[in-house]
Amino acid sequence: MRDVHNGIILVYNGECYNFSKLRKELEDKGRQFFGRSDTEVVLSVYAEWGLQGLRRLEGIFAFALWDSRAQRLVLMRDRLGVKPLFYGDSEFGFAFGSEIKSVLAAGAVDTSINDQSFSEYLWYGNTHEDRTIYRGVKSLKPGHWIVIEGGNQRCEPWWKIEDWLIDETPAQSMRVASDMVRAALDKAVERQMVADVPIGLFLSGGIDSSAIAAAAAHLVRGRVDSFSAGFDFDGGISELPKAARVAKHLGLEHSEFQVSGSNLEAILIKLACAHDEPFADAANVPLFLMSEKLAGQKIKVVLQGDGGDELFGGYRRYAMLKNTKCWRLWPQTLSPVLHSFGQSGRRIARMLESVGNADPGLRMAFLLTMETPRHPPEIVLSAERRRALAAVDPFLAYRNAAMRFAVHEPVQQMLLTDLTTQLPSQFLTKVDRATMAAGIEARVPLLDENILQIAINLPTTWKVSAQRDKIVLRQSQISRLPKDVISAPKVGFGVPYEHWIRTILFDFTRSHILDDSFLRRFDLNGSVIEDMLIKHKLGVFNRGFMIWKLLQLALFYGYAHKRNLQ
């Protein structure tokens, strides 16, 4: 969009949620508008107030703004990194876009593998901070902008979460805090349901998506569409009955989708191409299918529940971190005993070893991966490749976060790290790519600025205890949701990818991760990988996540990478 008054040009992706308020201020100053879009308001905010005006934007967005008068280019990304923005140097100069493939298309971009990113991927299944799998392509960090003018380029934060941290709680009591959270959620849902196209909800039946659904049902006259996904594999936990119960209670127009393990190969390839780099969060599969098969037939914008765990303390690790000094007394000699009890024992040992680590960076890093120093992911590499990777640190992002939030107690430090590190690198990336690949825009009301400012300043004792999680969020919904929904423990979105690898995807997986060209390209040890795959199939030793990461790496290499270089 071009500003007809001064020729400023904006290329824009996302939504500005406070555009109505900003528009009113600009109209009071005499500015005229030709349409009703938030895009025109963003243009006018810059035209009227310059770079400082852009700091007032609230929403999910990534944009490039060209000011021909000042010969200034501005790239800007939203506070928490909901919308992506990539950049790099090309044969035509500085290149940028919403996808990695758009930067590569500019030509002569360095596409060699970034060792730091590769190491992070082996441990976590995704890259961190401003890194991508390619040396020559970077991701603009959340809350950052790049300003290029006068031959100079600077990349700096235009906002950081520390700006909103205060020394005292914004509420006098838990009850007042729960009222504030409910009111802020209502405001967030109300302004995020403004759109020119039909809007629906992704509903799991958990407290996060149910709270959003309750707010929508409270605010909207008429029925609201909601959607849930389940799996044809009955060995896991199905959330469909719980979601259906919430939908019935709230009077939603509810639809369900069953993910079939018999039709996944093409979907996995499509998602590999949508991500443009290896990405191993398997929850992108049901998200994509739900968007494509259900939501895409009726709606174009969906409200999604991400962010509630990171804001209100939804993960088990937060409760464990309340007593880090006690866990340091855990005798490490008992870990091998736990490992002998199979997958459950190994998981308990991993959590105990992680939470008892005296180094806060390593403590958080190990809490966020299924890999352990006892069984490191580098075992799949050749000896020579392992030596080369010894020069990089796969835990760098969490060491940086530990230093950044060093003044906070362990639970708050973990919450802030999750919000600024894991959330944008994994969960928000998953939501954006999976939904946009199906032509759906996902919005995340729980990460709205109105909620964010309140939640990050509430005491962690109001969020998590030894027995309870998301305490204040659950209390905020007492008048709106059934008691059993409010008190139900958190259940992760258990995608049965380990079962798929053993059964319907076994041949597909084997052919890709043992392909000779793939093994050579990444210096992988084929015999180790084959042994790992066979043991997984037989149930002797479960390394399902490691195998899934290898499969996603192979699909990236075989399809997305080769296509992007053509």
pLDDT tens per residue across span 30-39: 988 988 999 9
Residue 372's CB is within 10 A of a number of other CB atoms, namely 17
As a whole number of angstroms, the distance between CA 128 and CA 516 comes to: 29
Please tell me the predicted confidence (pLDDT) of residue 347: 67
Angle subtended at Cα 369 by Cα 364 and Cα 371, rounded to the nearest 5 degrees: 120
Indicate the pLDDT class of residue 239, thresholds 50, 70 and 90: confident
Rounded Cα gap, residues 529 and 532, in angstroms:
5
Supply the mean pLDDT for the chain.
90
Looking at residue 248, what is its pLDDT?
93
| Tens digits of residue pLDDT in 18-70 | 999 999 999 999 988 988 999 999 999 999 999 999 999 999 999 999 999 99
What is the arithmetic mean of pLDDT over 373-382?
Answer: 91
pLDDT top residue among 544 and 356: 544
**Is 60 exceeded by the pLDDT of residue 533?**
yes
d(CA 415, CA 409): 10
What was the pLDDT predicted at 357? 75
For 413-450, the pLDDT digits (tens) are: 999 999 999 999 999 999 999 999 999 999 999 999 99
Query: Residue 356 pLDDT > 80, yes or no?
Result: no
CB atoms within 10 A of CB 354: 21
pLDDT at 297: 77
Please give the pLDDT value at position 234.
Answer: 56
Look at residue 562 in the predicted model and tell me its pLDDT.
Answer: 82
Token pair of 457 as six digits: 């300043």
Tell whether the model's pLDDT for residue 324 goes beyond 80.
no
Write out pLDDT tens, residues 182-217.
999 999 999 999 877 788 999 988 999 999 999 999
Cβ-in-10-Å burial (0-12, 13-18, 19+) of 29 comes to exposed
The answer, as to whether pTM is greater than 0.85, is: yes
**Is residue 221 predicted with pLDDT exceeding 80?**
no
- State how far the alpha carbon of 63 is from the alpha carbons of 74, 78, 148, 447, in Å: 8, 9, 14, 19
3-state secondary structure of 114: coil
Model confidence pLDDT, tens digit, residues 148-173:
999 899 999 999 999 999 988 888 89
Collapsing DSSP to helix, strand or coil, 68 comes out as coil
pLDDT for position 323: 74
Long-range contacts from 523-530, C-beta under 8 angstroms, 24+ separation: 523/381, 523/382, 523/384, 523/385, 524/380, 524/381, 524/382, 524/385, 524/550, 525/379, 525/380, 525/381, 525/382, 528/379, 528/380, 529/380
253/224 Cα distance (integer angstroms): 6
The pLDDT of residue 429? 97
User: For residues 31 and 39, what is the distance between their CA atoms, to the nearest angstrom?
Assistant: 15
Tens-place pLDDT, residues 251-304: 999 988 888 777 899 999 999 999 999 999 999 999 999 898 776 678 889 999
- Would you state the pLDDT for residue 257? 83
Q: Which pLDDT value is given to residue 428?
A: 97
For residue 314, which of 185, 455, 161 has the smallest C-alpha distance?
455
Number of C-beta neighbours around residue 209 at 10 A: 25
pLDDT digits (tens, 9 = 90+) for 502-512: 999 999 999 99
* Whether residue 236 has pLDDT greater than 60: no
pLDDT tens digits, 87-135: 999 988 999 999 999 999 999 999 999 999 999 999 999 999 999 999 9
Share of the chain above pLDDT 90, in %: 70
Please give the residue that has the higher pLDDT: either 177 or 6. 177
Residue 210: how many other CB atoms lie within 10 Å: 29
Q: 429 CB contacts (<8 Å, ≥6 apart)?
A: 84, 126, 275, 279, 281
